[in-house]
Amino acid sequence: MYIKILNKKLEKLKKTGQYREFITLNRIRGQYPLAKLNDLENSEPVVVWCSNDYLGMSQHPVVIEAMHNAIDSFGAGSGGSRNIGGTHYHYEALESSLAEWHGKESALVFPTGYGSNDATLQCLLGLYENCMVFSDERNHASIINGIRCSKAERKIFRHNDTQHLEELLEKQPYERLKLIVFESIYSMDGDIAPIKEIVRLAKKYNALTFLDEVHAIGMYGVRGAGIASGLNISGAIDIIQGTMAKGIGIIGGYIAGSKPIIDAIRSFASGFIFTTSLPPAIVAACYTSIEYLKNSDIERKKLHEKTEMLRDSFSRARIPIMNSSETHILPVLIGDAAKCKAAARQLLDIYNIYLQPINSPTVPVGTERFRVNITPNHSEEQISQLTNALIEIFLKFNIPFLGNRKITG
């Protein structure tokens, strides 16, 4: 009976095109964005076009060297939770570096970016009794889960719609505790939040702000500290959340804020207290990558230059980038789950190009897409190869080109 229930739900996923299948990609050190499939010896390399390793820092020699040195000194694992034997000296260096980067008093590192959102929001909304949370409708699953797992009353405002947010805020008493949660860059649409306006509303209506900067960290702002930094408004954000699994190129999440807020999360968040800490090699690599990116604009500049080259190539080929995109994230609209999945398979099998189909429920039905991310490591030849392959795929699957339909999102 129990297995039948699960099989029925899995079958429904498969019929709707929502069933996830993993592609085994074996990245080749020193040759990013190239990777090999299962047959390491004989397979042709594929070009990865959808990695979150936005700056290629996972392959950077200084990062790899730092990881090797930490393994040689400390071994592989951390040995326990932060409270029980798992706080090695690399943590102090990393958390101090993160706090300084964002202009905050303190920072706290978690094993994952998902965990830092989930645990922090659950904890904070539990500590602030009768707090109402206001959340953007397109916030990440980790944010949604953290809010849902609390008992806090919540209001969802339309995506990046500050007028709707204010309508919701003004209905609450000024004295009531409030938290506004939003992202700087939204990962599936590539758009940027109206951060200054949200901060203005937070001050007007006596609310705290929680900003997820995971898709901006390393790539935007002063020394790569994010969109808020570039707007010179980081100091007005109460909690900045980030990840080290994307632009930084490793893994791990963090929050940065005032000492009392960070200490409260450290002391009360079960998702932080009762989990094993990151190993020394990971923390050392994260610290090294961040310190490098604080002082190097090379990777950022190359990323943005290559992004414009790819945009131009797609534009000339009439490949439809969704109108929402204003960053390095280029969502290419397919608009059909079955076609999106089949097209991705053919790109891999015929053209040695890896693009992951993005279907519902990650994005709304009818907006299925490829989420294309270039890196500083992609070549002009690879840009041409991708563009030509997409032209052929669009023709084969009768996917409309730009000009044949309205591109929304």
Which residues are annotated as catalytic? 246
Joined together, the tokens standing for residue 409 give 């999102």
Supply angle C-alpha 33, 291, 96, rounded to 5: 130
β-pairing, 353-354 vs 239-243, is: unpaired
Cβ atoms of 60 and 281 within 8 Å: the answer is no
> Which ranges constitute the DSSP H helices of 218-336?
227-230, 259-268, 270-273, 280-295, 298-317
Cβ atoms of 70 and 285 within 8 Å: the answer is yes
CA 92 to chain centre: 24
Cβ atoms of 242 and 253 within 8 Å: the answer is yes
| HSE (side-chain half, CA atoms, 13 Å) at 331 | 24
The SS3 assignment for 151 reads coil
Residue 109 — left, alpha, or beta (φ > 0 → left; ψ -120 to 50 → alpha)?
beta
**Cβ of 165: how many Cβ atoms within 10 Å?**
25
Supply angle C-alpha 115, 116, 119, rounded to 5: 70
Cβ atoms of 151 and 166 within 8 Å: the answer is no
Q: Which residues pair with 153 in a beta bridge?
A: 132
* DSSP letters for 156-223: EEPTT-HHHHHHHHTTS-TTS-EEEEEESB-TTT--B--HHHHHHHHHHTT-EEEEE-TTTTTTSSGG
